[in-house]
Amino acid sequence: MPTLIVAERLMPQGAVSAAQVQQPALLHAAGSLRAALTEVTQAFETVTGLRVEAVYGPSGLLREQLAKGEVAEVFASANMDHPAALAEAGLAGPVVLFARNELCAFVRPGVMVTAETVLERMLDPSIRLGTSTPKADPSGDYAFEVFARAEALKPGAKAALEAKALQLTGGPGSVAAPDGVNAYGHKLASGEADIFLAYRTNAQPLAREQPGVTLVRLPAVLAVGADYGLTVMSKASPNG
């Protein structure tokens, strides 16, 4: 991930006064960026002496909060649409593509899935298919894009997958995983899902927490990439 771009956006332009140093830089960012941006913000704080207050969550819900006036300076979204909407409303500056991700299938132990069989297994009535929540969380939107691609391979697949998808994370009413626990791994471990469509960047934390979980990359005909957009809010202080 090109974290240097994020660091540059956080870096203040010109000299920083003592009064400005006392004010934190306010970052709102997609939950999937937490690990990478924690490293960036720590480096930023070391170099500048400025403290960063970070809020992580589903990008769609963060966009709603910012549109309603929540104070923020930098918004890093898991898609381009949410920051673009803020820019079009005059609430933020130009949007920069700064990172990319990939949707994959994470499979709980005991369930056999390969790239060749992933669509068949997702359609299997006995398989609990987990996704995040569309509109509230881009991960859910990307999952539903996978379903739309599946229609070209198997007529009726789109409707069937949309109907059976369990929107377990990313929504305003979603039950959060315990602190410090990967949300998707938690849903797989609890048995709420057998297959969960989520970002490939979950592979490392899941390997630590749930070594038996399998990552299956989607075949090219189903694969959906994720473009991450960054913007600076119009009312950002010099710290942002």
Average pLDDT (213-220) is 97
| Distance from C-alpha of 16 to C-alpha of 37, rounded to nearest angstrom | 22
pLDDT of 237 strictly over 90: no
13 Ramachandran zone, left/alpha/beta (phi>0; psi -120 to 50): beta
CB 221 within 8 A of CB 145: no
pLDDT of 15 strictly over 50: no
What's the whole-number average pLDDT of the chain? 91
The alpha-carbon radius of gyration of the chain (Å, integer) is 19
| Distance from C-alpha of 20 to C-alpha of 129, rounded to nearest angstrom | 48
Average pLDDT (175-196) is 94
pLDDT band at 116 (very low <50, low <70, confident <90, very high): very high
Average pLDDT (215-227) is 97
Q: Where do the domains of the chain lie, and which CATH numbers do they carry?
A: 3-99+227-232 (3.40.190.10), 101-225 (3.40.190.10)
pLDDT at residue 22, rounded to an integer? 66
pLDDT at residue 61, rounded to an integer? 98
pLDDT band at 236 (very low <50, low <70, confident <90, very high): confident
pTM: 0.90
CB 28 within 8 A of CB 72: yes
| Structure token pair of residue 170 | 């990313």
pLDDT band at 32 (very low <50, low <70, confident <90, very high): very high
Helices in 59-217 by DSSP H: which ranges? Answer: 59-67, 81-88, 118-123, 138-153, 157-164, 183-189, 203-209
pLDDT band at 5 (very low <50, low <70, confident <90, very high): very low
pLDDT of 218 strictly over 90: yes
pLDDT at residue 140, rounded to an integer? 98
Digit-coded pLDDT (tens) for 59-82: 999 999 999 999 999 999 999 999
Q: Which amino acid is at 223?
A: A
